[in-house]
């Protein structure tokens, strides 16, 4: 208040993080007491309090019909145990009076909860604890937006790489998200816009969400700047802090004339951890925030962007050598000699191997092992999701490091939460062919001979696509399956082409090459005995609306994190999984029948949509 009295007639509290928001009401009261003609710009103090007040905010979400994780506040051990029983273990517990997730834990039973209450915090009416349903395996999202009180501009939607259970400040995240279906994307936008409207937001708004089984849950909403604002602006090219400041000063979003930008490239934000300066500290990621800084990497693919982010945080991922794998992740055997803890005589032998430089990479949650990794500067990952992301980074390590300037990078022609329906290449060619048949090109002056050659070329392309099926193996071990599958597809009248045997495309990455051949095939078949170790084929099919059948073993225990193997979307009709017992050809007849039915529905839909065909 002293500074305001001496220098200003208005003040913004949204840019100072949680601390500045916390002083909003006391500052307003002090300004009023002194009789100062000074306005707190932007979202009102009462709206900020509403977002901070757990009970008031929960009631607002209930009124709006927005899902929340079940939770409540306890002021005694007995009340805490009763709430945990009502909610059901596991639960997330934390003090109500701290920042950064300090003393936050996931507890799985009464003993854990009692220990937490007795040792970590002293629960009392003056110091209550918060107990929430723990959304295991949920995908967490951060959304940064700007509102002028009427219109909402979404700066970016970020998908956390680590799932629920790692503090949002410590989880790496990506822009744009890649494991959300269309319905979920739309619901995310609806939730953010509804919250912005109900809080009468003027300026910045950060909303943290979780997605589990297609349901979008709100975790919290903060009418202030978030630590993610600089990352969003650098990844998208939209200066949301600058926009928010102008809006808080009275401008409207319509007057400012900024548009939402969804980048076609991928940006990854990761954290800088201080463990090398804090000997004896726990290097594992969890609910309590530990990071002290952030870095980012941008590239055409997620794998390369993640690898660049690791380089920026001085955690460069080795590409070969010896890896100790103590997490349920497969695929590292393609690049490393893989060892497990049991391969060493005892813990001393394991520690000696780490200290003697015999290990290049560690994937584990073992605290003692990770502390040695910190001391010896050995690259490690302590979550399944980060280990899977690192594997993808290794697979994309050969891609170029350079990236285009931010204002020259390609952008998607759509808005956040409003994904456009994309037509596959065959549908587009068929539509063009039908235009020629309907005589529209004749009316525009096309020469008869040239038009006939054009139509003939289109027919050739369509015929090639309709005869072609692309076969892809997830790893070298699956290659032996492709020969018999090719024979069965031949019996169905298709020419099956194995992806690895097709020519390279000059100037294109392996991922782009795969995308081109998928688009030039009627459908694709992915044999995936590890179900699933790769994202490339899934992401390509999803992005380009290509029909993809995944053949996976029924008995294989599958990894189902959102990073790998957990991407099936209920609202995608063109990607489906088919299981087999021993031989992938067992599932092939059903896969072919399904693929053909999807394509026939598309053709019927195209005929119904085209105005020159509806009249015939």
Within-domain flag for 479? yes
CB atoms within 10 A of CB 257: 7
Residue 423 buriedness (CB in 10 A; 0-12 / 13-18 / 19+): middle
pLDDT of residue 571 exceeding 60, the answer is no
- Higher pLDDT pick, 428 / 290: 290
pLDDT above 90 (res 611):
no
> What is the mean pLDDT of the segment spanning 546-571?
66
CATH of the domain at 114: 3.30.1490.20
The reported pLDDT for the residue numbered 99 is 54
Residue 572 belongs to what domain range? Answer: 425-608
Q: Is the pLDDT of residue 519 over 80?
A: yes
44 vs 90, 202, 311, CA distance in Å? 37, 8, 42
Q: Are strands 495-498 and 468-473 parallel, antiparallel or unpaired?
A: parallel
Q: What is the mean pLDDT of residues 71-92?
A: 90
Residue with tokens 């319905």: 183
| Residue 90 forms part of a structural domain | yes
Residue 47 and residue 74 share a domain: no
Distance CA 208, CA 219 (A): 5
Residue-level pLDDT at 122: 67
117 vs 109 pLDDT, higher one: 109
Last residue of a domain, one of 86, 118, 133: 133
Question: Same domain for 354 and 475?
Answer: no
576 assigned to some structural domain:
yes
Tell whether the torsion through CA atoms of 314, 320, 324 and 330 is positive or negative. positive
Could you give the CA distance from residue 152 to residue 225 in angstroms, rounded to a whole number? 15
Q: What is the pLDDT of residues 1-57, one digit of tens each?
A: 666 666 767 888 888 777 777 777 788 787 777 877 777 788 888 888 888 887 889
Dist CA 205 CA 240 (whole Å): 10
Residues 299 and 373 in one domain: yes
- Percentage of the chain modeled with pLDDT above 70: 86
The tokens for 320 are: 């070969």
Can you read off the two tokens belonging to residue 401? 């490091």
Q: Is the predicted pLDDT of residue 58 greater than 70, yes or no?
A: yes
Say yes or no to pLDDT of 318 above 90: yes
Domain identity same for 444 and 513: yes
Residue 227 DSSP symbol: T
Q: Which of 133, 157, 187 is the last residue of a domain?
A: 133
CA distance 187 to 416: 11
What pLDDT shows up at residue 432? 75
* Burial class for 463, CB neighbours closer than 10 Å (0-12, 13-18, 19+): exposed
Burial 527-565 (b: 16+ CB within 10 A, else e): bbbbbbbbbbbbbbbbebbbbbbbbbbeeeeebebbbbb
Q: Please say if the pLDDT value at position 70 is more than 60.
A: yes
Categorize the per-residue pLDDT at 560 as very low, low, confident or very high, splitting at 50, 70 and 90.
Answer: low
Position 431 scores a pLDDT of 74
- Asked if 515 contacts 535 with a C-beta cutoff of 8 angstroms, the reply is no
Q: Which of 305, 271, 310, 315 is nearest to 176 (CA)?
A: 305
Q: According to the model, what pLDDT value does residue 390 have? A: 95
The tens digit of pLDDT for each residue in 388-436 reads: 999 999 988 988 888 888 888 888 878 898 765 556 677 777 777 777 7
* Residue showing tokens 């300037």: 405
DSSP secondary structure code for residue 177 in this structure? -
CATH number at 380 reads 3.40.50.1380
Residue 574 in 3-state DSSP? Answer: coil
With contact defined as beta carbons under 8 Å apart, do 163 and 261 qualify?
Answer: no
For residue 357, pLDDT over 70 is answered with yes
Residues 370 and 501 in one domain: no
**Is the pLDDT at 97 greater than 60, yes or no?**
no
Please give the pLDDT value at position 604: 76
Give the residue from 332, 182, 309, 301 showing the smallest Cα distance to 540.
301
Q: Which two tokens stand for residue 537?
A: 């084929």
> Are 431 and 384 found together in one domain?
no
Number of Cβ atoms within 10 Å of the Cβ of 302: 24
**pLDDT of the residue at 118:** 79
Separation of first and last alpha carbons in the chain: 75
Containing 531, the helix (H) or strand (E) segment is: none
Per-residue pLDDT of 595-605, as tens digits, reads 999 888 877 77
- 466 within domain boundaries: yes
Domain-embedded: residue 126: yes
Quick check: is 214 in a domain? no
Residue 569 and residue 432 in one domain: yes
Give how many domains the chain has, as a whole number.
Answer: 4
Backbone φ and ψ of 575, nearest 5°: -130, 125
Average pLDDT for 541-568 = 69
> Is residue 361's pLDDT more than 90?
yes
- Taking the C-alpha atoms of residue 203 and residue 41, their distance in angstroms, rounded to an integer, is 9
Rg, the chain, Cα only: 27
In sequence order, the β-bridge partners of residue 550 are 526, 577
Among 8-12, 91-95, 314-318, the least confident range: 8-12
Question: Is 1 or 450 the better-scoring residue by pLDDT?
Answer: 450
Model confidence band, residue 232 (pLDDT cutoffs 50, 70, 90): very high
> What pLDDT score was predicted for residue 13?
80
Task: State whether 337 and 454 are in the same domain.
Answer: no
Note the pLDDT of residue 567. 43
Residues 458 and 580 in one domain: yes
Instruction: Write phi, then psi, for 442 (nearest 5 degrees).
Output: -60, -45
In this structure, are residues 572 and 546 in contact, taking their beta carbons and an 8 Å threshold?
Answer: no
45 with 84, same domain: the answer is no
Last residue within a domain, chosen from 133, 161, 186: 133
482-517 pLDDT, tens digit per residue, is 889 999 999 999 999 888 888 887 777 667 777 788
CA 406 vs. chain centroid, Å, equals 21
Residue 255, in any domain of the structure: no
CB-based contacts of 411, cutoff 8 Å, min separation 6: 261, 262, 263, 264
Same domain for 574 and 469, yes or no, is yes
338 vs 227, higher pLDDT: 338
The overall average pLDDT reported for the chain is 84
Q: Are 384 and 392 in contact (CB under 8 A)?
A: no
What's the pLDDT score for residue 35? 77
- State the CATH number of the domain containing residue 592: 3.40.50.450
pLDDT of residue 463: 86
Please count the other Cβ atoms lying within 10 Å of the Cβ belonging to residue 126. Answer: 8
Are 483 and 581 in a shared domain?
yes
Tell me, yes or no, whether 240 lies in a domain: no
Q: Rounded to whole angstroms, how far apart are CA atoms 288 and 300?
A: 32
Instruction: Give the up-direction half-sphere exposure of residue 391: CA atoms within 13 A in the CB hemisphere.
Output: 28
Rounded Cα distance between 393 and 331, Å, is 12
Q: What band does 349 get if pLDDT is binned at 50, 70 and 90?
A: very high
List, in order, residues 6 or more apart from 65 with CB less than 8 Å away: none
Backbone angles phi, psi at 591, to 5 degrees: -65, -45
Residue-level pLDDT at 615? 47
pLDDT tens profile 457-483:
888 888 888 899 999 876 655 566 788
Are 323 and 332 spatial neighbours (Cβ–Cβ below 8 Å)? yes
């Amino acid at each position: 208040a002293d500074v305001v009295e001496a220098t200003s007639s208005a003040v913004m509290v949204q840019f100072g993080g949680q601390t500045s928001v916390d002083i909003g009401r006391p500052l307003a009261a002090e300004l009023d007491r002194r009789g100062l003609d000074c306005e707190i710009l932007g979202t009102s103090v009462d709206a900020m309090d509403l977002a901070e007040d757990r009970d008031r905010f929960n009631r607002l979400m209930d009124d709006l019909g927005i899902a929340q994780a079940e939770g409540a506040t306890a002021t005694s051990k007995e009340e805490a145990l009763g709430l945990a029983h009502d909610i059901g273990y596991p639960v997330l517990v934390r003090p109500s009076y701290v920042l950064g997730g300090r003393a936050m834990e996931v507890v799985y039973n009464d003993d854990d909860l009692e220990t937490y209450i007795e040792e970590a915090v002293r629960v009392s009416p003056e110091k209550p604890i918060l107990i929430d349903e723990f959304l295991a395996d949920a995908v967490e999202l951060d959304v940064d937006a700007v509102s002028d009180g009427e219109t909402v501009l979404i700066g970016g939607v970020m998908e956390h790489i680590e799932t629920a259970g790692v503090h949002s400040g410590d989880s790496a995240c990506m822009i744009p998200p890649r494991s959300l279906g269309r319905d979920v994307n739309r619901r995310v936008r609806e939730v953010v816009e509804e919250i912005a409207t109900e809080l009468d937001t003027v300026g910045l708004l950060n909303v943290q969400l979780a997605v589990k089984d297609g349901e979008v849950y709100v975790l919290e909403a903060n009418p202030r700047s978030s630590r993610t604002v600089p990352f969003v602006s650098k990844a998208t090219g939209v200066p949301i802090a600058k926009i928010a400041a102008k809006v808080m000063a009275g401008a409207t979003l319509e007057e400012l004339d900024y548009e939402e930008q969804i980048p076609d490239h991928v940006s990854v934000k990761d954290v800088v951890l201080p463990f090398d300066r804090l000997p004896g500290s726990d290097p594992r990621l969890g609910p309590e925030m530990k990071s002290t800084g952030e870095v980012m990497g941008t590239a055409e693919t997620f794998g390369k962007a993640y690898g660049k982010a690791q380089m920026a945080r001085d955690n460069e991922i080795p590409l070969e050598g010896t890896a100790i794998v103590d997490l349920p992740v497969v695929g590292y055997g393609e690049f490393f000699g893989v060892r497990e803890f049991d391969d060493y005589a005892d813990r001393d032998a394991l520690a000696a191997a780490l200290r003697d430089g015999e290990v290049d990479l560690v994937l584990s949650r073992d605290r003692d092992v990770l502390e040695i990794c910190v001391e010896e500067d050995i690259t490690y990952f302590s979550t399944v999701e980060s280990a899977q992301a690192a594997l993808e980074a290794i697979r994309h390590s050969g891609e170029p490091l350079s990236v285009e300037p931010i204002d020259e990078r390609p952008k998607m022609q759509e808005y956040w939460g409003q994904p456009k329906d994309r037509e596959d290449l065959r549908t587009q060619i068929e539509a063009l062919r039908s235009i020629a048949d309907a005589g529209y090109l004749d009316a525009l002056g096309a020469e008869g001979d040239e038009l006939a050659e054009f139509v003939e070329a289109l027919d050739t392309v369509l015929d090639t696509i309709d005869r072609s099926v692309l076969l892809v193996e997830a790893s070298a071990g699956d290659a032996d399956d492709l020969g018999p599958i090719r024979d069965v597809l031949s019996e169905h009248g298709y020419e099956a082409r194995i992806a690895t045997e097709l020519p390279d495309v000059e100037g294109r990455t392996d991922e782009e090459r795969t995308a081109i051949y998928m688009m030039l095939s009627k459908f694709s078949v992915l044999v995936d005995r590890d179900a699933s170790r790769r994202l490339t084929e899934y992401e390509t099919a999803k992005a380009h609306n290509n029909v993809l059948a995944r053949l996976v073993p029924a008995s294989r225990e599958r990894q189902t994190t959102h990073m790998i193997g957990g991407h099936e979307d209920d609202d995608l009709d063109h990607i489906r999984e088919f299981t087999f017992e021993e031989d992938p050809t067992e599932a092939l007849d059903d896969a072919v029948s399904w693929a053909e039915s999807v394509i026939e529905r598309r053709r019927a839909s195209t005929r119904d949509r085209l105005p020159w065909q509806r009249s015939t």
